[in-house]
Amino acid sequence: MGYAGTLLGFLPGGSTPGLKELLAAAQSYLPPEQVERIRIAAEFGAEAHKGQKRKTGEPYIAHPVAAGVILAGLRVDADTIVAAILHDVIEDTPVAKEELARRFGETVAEIVDGVTKLDQIQFKSREEAQAESFRKMLLAMVRDLRVILVKLADRLHNMRTIEGMSPVRRRAIARETLEIFAPLAERLGLYAMKLELEDLGFRALYPQRYRVIEKAIKRARGHQKEFLGKISENISIALAKAGIEAEVDTREKHLYSIYKKMLRKRSALSEIVDVYGLRLVVASVDECYRALGVVHGAYKPMPGRFKDYIAIPRVNGYQSLHTTLFGPNGLPIEAQIRTRDMHRVAESGIAAHWKYKSGDGSPAYEQAQAREWLNNLISMQESGSSEEFLESVRVDLFPDKVYLFTPKGKILRLPRGATVVDFAYAVHTDIGNRCVAAKVDRRLTPLRTQLRNGQTVEIVTAPGAMPNPAWVNFVVTAKARTAIRNYLKSLRRSEAIELGQRLINQSLAEFNLSLTDISEMTLAATVGELGMVDADELFEKVGLGERLAPLIARRLGPANPLQTGSDSLDDSLDAGNAAPAPLSVAGTEGLLVSYARCCFPVPGDPILAYLSSGRGIIVHREDCANVDDYRKHPEKWLSVTWAEKPERLFGSELRVEVANRMGVLAAVAAAIAGTETNIDHVALEERDAETSVLIFEVKVRDRTHLARVMRVIRHMPDVLKLSRTLAVRTRED
């Protein structure tokens, strides 16, 4: 082929591995002018990367060309292959995005920019850099799915040549491949790529385990292939008698699939018997179901192991019938039945229906499904840190789904373990926010109930309802978690503003003033001096502990009106001023007043509070060991007192030393329950053969209620010692 020869003069060593293969693959399905573009791109990339070498010692251009070969195998368009060849040019060479756009078009430049790594940005940690890069990659995908195809091809070739990396780096890349890129390939229906990424990642991360399983599979291969060939022959004869033309192939389970099954079932390798399976490819959907009947007639099916992914396709567009048969000696054999189109989609995913330039209507089902999922990622941009975003996406990548129905029969796919609240947010964010109850299969069900395949879920809403902060602890979908957190952020702001006003009023009380006595002009001038937008921002920062109320009061008060003095400690602490009245706390203040879990204060305990930056007020018992640490920051102390009638229950922790005997835990728990007290958590510490320490976290109204609980426990015959938990100098705030 002449194209390769033209390029040789630009390349170190006179040749580029994979170039002839790339041009031949492209020529098999692309018109000559597009193949020429690919040749020119390779020539340009070789010149740009001239002198650069990979860890393996080969010219750097060999890597992007190899990524192009992988994509040409998927028969993608020329723009995608050109972008793959140039995907490291912006990052590793002086070539700018504008030059790429001028030479190869805006589309190629945008794809390359979407894949470019973010080495220029400074991050606090390697994890954050990885997460931020992943965020950019995924959001770029929403605009153009070809970005992820290039990224996956880049990762696949890197995994094929990973031996050049150091062992530590090799394991890190392999783990990322198994956790992120292989599931992403599966989600987009790139099944063959997913399998290779998994096996390469498994070999790099756990080389010894890989070798052991590989050796065992080779030993078992001869025997299993023999009887599998007989089963395949019997099924082919039965299908022919039924008038069904089918390709019947045997397939071998991949090593990583076997390893995951061993972990999931906690089985030894010798117990994993379904190493091989059958695949039947027929002409039509009707023949799929007819073939299923023939197969079940030839070999008895295993109950509960049939899955119909034709009627209800997977979210990545995958369609097949799955059934498991009892083979010789009861050995299970998995069989897949699909049409030729389904088989093509199963192997190539969204690349099987590439329609960027088609202009013939809506995109293919598989691409539409992938794009629908990717569009949901936009809503996660407000979810917080990049690491949190990455964790959210990681949860949604894995395709272990449950299929659920709305009352009108619409099918929703959710991750296994999804709850009623996840379902509500999957229907619509407003439905989730106003959810108050739910009916599953027409029966009222708690909102935290995990849903199962095939259930019909009806969400009950109320106009004034709001998300419960506790929901974030049990929802599993990124959409639900993001919506709840966004709501909590707005709620947190309103609470912070209210708390900030209370704190400033408390500090102004030493001047016999309140905010109502401060003129709008004075308040606006103070806000401007501090570089804030409005008074609400000032109140919010005070409520969050980012600004100190005594300092703000000094600026607003008459002692130093509109003083431009510094925010110094001396300026805020005037020994001659009277102490302000204590702030009243009742336990109902929401997100900005919390009760320290190191000492578990309850109404009736002497308390003080500490203003924690970004968290608001943390209330401690006065005798808490952690209070000593706070004495170093007197400007953050707050004088607080309990409201007359707190309107909630408070947590308290009791340490009960007991004699070891059967049933003592149940006896103490029953005694606590007899005082009409809820137990939130129980833990056990074994001291020795004679004694143990039971740690109960209970909910009480006040100190009197707690004393009654302790009195009941103390009088039990097996109780040796009883005390409330008190911190031993462990800063939890």
Q: What are phi and psi of 729, to 5 degrees?
A: 55, 60
HEC letters along 145-174: CHHHHHHHHHHHHHHHCHHHCCHHHHHHHH
| Cβ pair 609, 584 in contact under 8 A | no
CA–CA dist 219, 235 (Å, integer): 26
Structure tokens at 100: 């790429």
Distances (CA, A) of 115 to 103, 129, 146, 149, 396: 18, 14, 10, 10, 21
| Cβ pair 613, 546 in contact under 8 A | yes
3-state SS assignment for residue 678: strand
**How many CB atoms are located within 10 Å of the residue 427 CB?**
15
Structure tokens at 470: 């506790």
3-state SS assignment for residue 413: strand
Specify the length of the chain in residues.
733
Instruction: Report the alpha-carbon angle 324-328-329, nearest 5.
Output: 105
Structure tokens at 570: 């001396």
CA dihedral 307, 310, 315, 318 (to 10 degrees): 100
**How many CB atoms are located within 10 Å of the residue 675 CB?**
16
Structure tokens at 68: 């192009």
Q: How far apart are the first and last CA of the chain?
A: 69
| Cβ pair 91, 119 in contact under 8 A | yes
Report strand pairing: 276-282 vs 247-252.
antiparallel
Q: Where are the beta strands (DSSP E) in 418-543?
A: 435-440, 443-445, 457-461
| Options 91, 214, 334, 388, the catalytic residue | 91
| Cβ pair 49, 59 in contact under 8 A | yes
Q: What are phi and psi of 555, to 5 degrees?
A: -70, -35
CA–CA dist 506, 494 (Å, integer): 19
Structure tokens at 386: 């990049």
Nearest in space to 256 (alpha carbons), one of 149, 159, 394:
159
Instruction: Report the alpha-carbon angle 576-577-583, nearest 5.
Output: 150
Structure tokens at 388: 């949190």
Give me the DSSP letters along 609-649.
EEEETTTEEEEEETT-TTHHHHTT-GGGEE-EEE-SS--S-
The angle, 0 to 180 degrees and rounded to 10, between the axes of the packed helices 62-73 and 32-48 is 160
Please say if 635 is a catalytic residue: no
**Gyration radius from the chain CA atoms:** 33
| Cβ pair 527, 535 in contact under 8 A | yes
Which helix or strand (DSSP H or E) is residue 695 part of? strand 691-700
| Half-sphere exposure (Cβ direction) of 622: Cα atoms closer than 13 Å | 9
Amino acid, single-letter form, for residue 595: Y
Contacts (Cβ under 8 Å, ≥6 apart) of 644: none
**How many CB atoms are located within 10 Å of the residue 706 CB?**
23
CA–CA dist 548, 633 (Å, integer): 12
CA–CA dist 59, 30 (Å, integer): 27
Query: What's the DSSP call for residue 579?
Result: P
| Options 92, 334, 387, 718, the catalytic residue | 92
Structure tokens at 586: 């009742």
Please say if 536 is a catalytic residue: no
Alpha carbon 574 to its chain's center? 50
Q: Catalytic residues, which ones? A: 91-92
